[in-house]
Chain A
Amino acid sequence: GAVVSQHPSRVICKSGTSVKIECRSLDFQATTMFWYRQFPKQSLMLMATSNEGSKATYEQGVEKDKFLINHASLTLSTLTVTSAHPEDSSFYICSAPLPTGGPYSNQPQHFGDGTRLSIL
């Protein structure tokens, strides 16, 4: 069935490193994908909406130069955390809207498994 695959699941790296997270839609095409960030014991906050073939839409307060989003194909969106610092440590989750109709008519989005980012 329709699945969203997110990699890597865990990243630990030094401050100043850039980290890329991939989000792939399997068995379906996604012109739009969403990137969320979740701090410990908090809710999910939408960071940006990734649009295939065009610029991403960032939520207020999210630095577009720090969180680079690329959606170059209908099945892949990437989030790059540039020059990451300890305050960027968080759980990042992507999601993709599922195709309407068929077996997915009541499941508007499918979430990836998340990426735990730890910056030392």
Chain B
Amino acid sequence: ELKVEQNPLFLSMQEGKNYTIYCNYSTTSDRLYWYRQDPGKSLESLFVLLSNGAVKQEGRLMASLDTKARLSTLHITAAVHDLSATYFCAVDPLGNQFYFGTGTSLTVIP
């Protein structure tokens, strides 16, 4: 059974601090995606990682992928309140069928 696990599940951090969310998956996949979900809303695409060693940055968020370790990270730099949301990673090992991670609920405290 394919598993996609995120750590931590819940994260409360102060504004200005840094933190990393981890995404581990149990099967081979060269594709990994990060999404943001606000309460009551659908998914917003953040990053598309398509190869081993891929690193992408957008604002205060940076995502990386290590396909050999089956690990992706989402690093938050100098958090701000607007980043409060739930973050999901997803893998696509077979092409066009997503398996979502457990989710990380992030709360940034002023």
Q: Interface on A for B, CB 8 Å cutoff? A: 6, 32, 34, 41-46, 49, 93, 95, 97, 106-109, 111-114, 116
Residues of A close to B97: CB separation below 8 A: 34, 46, 49
Q: Do the beta carbons of A97 and B96 come within 8 Å of each other?
A: yes
On B, residues with C-beta under 8 Å from A are 31, 33, 40-43, 45, 48, 50, 88, 92, 96-103, 105
Contact assessment for A106 and B50 in the assembled complex, using a CB-CB cutoff below 8 Å: yes
Number of A-B contacts (CB under 8 A): 43
Give CA–CA (A42, B50) in the complex, Å.
26
Residues of chain B contacted by A95 (CB below 8 angstroms): 98
Nearest-neighbor residue (CB-CB) of A106 within chain B = B48
Please report whether the interface of chain A is mostly helix, strand, loop or mixed according to DSSP: strand
Give Cα A114–Cα B45 distance, bound, in whole angstroms.
Answer: 15
15 pairs from A and B in contact (CB 8 Å cutoff): A34-B97, A44-B88, A44-B100, A46-B99, A93-B42, A97-B96, A106-B48, A106-B50, A107-B48, A108-B31, A108-B96, A109-B96, A109-B98, A111-B43, A112-B42
Report if A116-B103 is in contact (Cβ < 8 Å); known contacts: A34-B97, A106-B50: no
In the complex, given contacts A34-B97, A43-B103, A44-B98, what are 5 additional A-B residue pairs having Cβ atoms less than 8 angstroms apart? A97-B96, A107-B48, A111-B42, A111-B43, A113-B42
With CB as the reference atom, state the residue of chain A lying closest to B102: A43
CB distance from B94 to the nearest CB of A (A): 11
User: How far does the alpha carbon of A50 sit from the alpha carbon of B46 in the complex, in Å?
Assistant: 25
Q: Which residues of B contact A6 (CB under 8 A)?
A: 42
Q: Closest residue of chain B to A10, judged by CB?
A: B40
Q: Roughly how many angstroms separate A106 CA and B91 CA in the complex, as a whole number?
A: 14
B108 smallest CB distance to A (angstroms):
18
Give the distance in Å from the alpha carbon of A43 to the alpha carbon of B101 in the complex.
7
Within 8 Å CB of B50, what residues of A?
Answer: 106
CA distance A46 to B26 in the complex (A): 17
- Complex partner residue of A42 from B41, B42, B103, CB under 8 angstroms: B103
Residues of A within 8 A of B33 (CB): 108
